[in-house]
Structure 1
């Protein structure tokens, strides 16, 4: 079934909360993912050094390129579609791209930043760079695959690109980068239209390469993450009743509103595209506000970290070690029950939280499959 479709599904808070279902009716042969650390399966690790232990400890048993104790939402999406976990495009060791590729890297923004990773902590692989990587992969993979042999089994078929699901989870770093550069929240807000414009260009470019099925996550409540909270002035009026920074959450909501409007415009201009807008902000905010009601013990406090009110210190990251009495010991050590924590390291979510989020968006994925 291959009709020309144009669809938008806005998945909002509790109205869509239902158990996960496997999308057996899907026939997406591949996933091509673009984004930041929320969906990075090894890109930044391949480029700048591996994310060490205890990352990966809850599922993979060892570091697996993810800034998490286990699986990410993109991993659960791949599982539900019956596809293998995505190999990072930048990782040449043990990768198999027959069912897609992951161009996401931790710290990636939509808009290129005029700084290095060491200067700012943000990745140089912005969304425009990720598109160039995809463009080259699209063309070169078919040239190499035509050689046959092992190449035929490790690279996608030519029609996979038009039938694939294109997933996006990016934008968080554009907002935090501006704020961390000492801009006011209001100043960052004025930059949102340009950021969204560049995002739209990326979608149009991928559409021009044959992409037709798009799954777009909005950005989460960044004001509830320790790495943002710790940098915000301790002004009581700026914090909501749950301890989150209201101005930063408002900024995320403004970005999401603009993103949703952009998706509506894209539906109109890209007549053959089926586009799903996924409201993960509401789901993540629900976790922060009602953590205990969903089986979690805490929300703002990091599972893996060191010190302070939120078990977070930007100078002592998750997994950091030091020598104590001749022995190497963790300073940034993980908590005993990561499956009861919402936040893994002050920046990223735990596997348990990612599973919660996936379970709530899975019905929307099933709807997208039916319109394939």
Structure 2
């Protein structure tokens, strides 16, 4: 299964919805994922890999949009925004509970939860171990602290630039990971 729900959250957060509004939206997203799983089972799927949400508090787009001076909002070890990562963890907890319910209904199907959140957090905690020099700055973007600007998409020349070595960055364009990051997640 592909990632479901990420863009729903991106749109809501980056359009200024309150965290409370978005928290109320989580059950709908999780139910949609469960519905997609049930549909796949109905089509004959016997093994389904379901990814959890990534740590959005480490995303250059979110770091730019929610940039603030209160250092209490940031994880001192990673530089990620703590409350946004807590939101990702909340989604993942709700998803895992729903997957348990679906597993009980379809005991002959192997439903595997892919813990993208904790896998990705390894890159932020131990970047050198994985060959990353930039964890919070996008490879391709419109400048600024995190090399991200919502008014400039990666590739909008000459306003945006890209790094010389994308494999040294966790994020490609502020919202999407680099090939090196996805390769690390898959291992």
The RMSD of aligned alpha carbons is 1.5
1:315-337 CA-to-partner distances (Å, cap 9, x unmatched) read 1221111xxxxxxxx33222111
The match for 1:334 is 162
Q: Measure how far apart 1:233 and its partner are.
A: 4.9
Q: Measure how far apart 1:350 and its partner are.
A: 0.8
Q: Does 1:178 align with 2:6?
A: no
Q: 1:204 and 1:300 mapped to 2: Cα distance? A: 36
Structure 2, unmatched stretches of 5+, are none
Q: Does 1:346 align with 2:174?
A: yes
When Rg is computed on C-alpha atoms for both structures, the one with the higher figure is 1
How many residue pairs align between the two structures?
185
1:217-260 CA-to-partner distances (Å, cap 9, x unmatched) read 10100011111111115141222212211111111100000111
How is 1:92-131 mapped onto 2 (pairs within 5 angstroms)?
Answer: none
Contact 1:213-1:275 within 8 A present in 2 as well? yes
Pick from 80, 84, 98: which aligns with 1:262?
98
DSSP-derived class of the 1:188 partner: helix
**Structure 1 or 2: larger helix share?**
2
Q: 1:229 and 1:248 mapped to 2: Cα distance? A: 10
1:24-44 CA-to-partner distances (Å, cap 9, x unmatched) read xxxxxxxxxxxxxxxxxxxxx
Q: 1:232 and 1:333 mapped to 2: Cα distance? A: 22
Structure 1, unmatched stretches of 5+, are 1-166, 322-329, 360-372
The match for 1:303 is 139
Q: 1:218 and 1:287 mapped to 2: Cα distance? A: 16
Cα pair distance change 1:202/1:254, threshold 3 Å:
same
Q: Does 1:240 align with 2:69?
A: no
How is 1:274-289 mapped onto 2 (pairs within 5 angstroms)?
Answer: 274-289=110-125
1:174-205 CA-to-partner distances (Å, cap 9, x unmatched) read 22222223222122112211221122112112
DSSP-derived class of the 2:31 partner: helix
After TM superposition, which residue ranges in structure 1, 4 or more long, deviate above 4 angstroms? Answer: none
Q: Which has the higher contact order (CA 8 A, sep 6+)?
A: 1
DSSP-derived class of the 2:162 partner: coil
Q: 1:233 and 1:339 mapped to 2: Cα distance? A: 25
Q: 2:166 and 2:108 mapped to 1: Cα distance? A: 43
Contact 1:301-1:310 within 8 A present in 2 as well? yes
1:82-106 CA-to-partner distances (Å, cap 9, x unmatched) read xxxxxxxxxxxxxxxxxxxxxxxxx
Q: 1:272 and 1:302 mapped to 2: Cα distance? A: 42
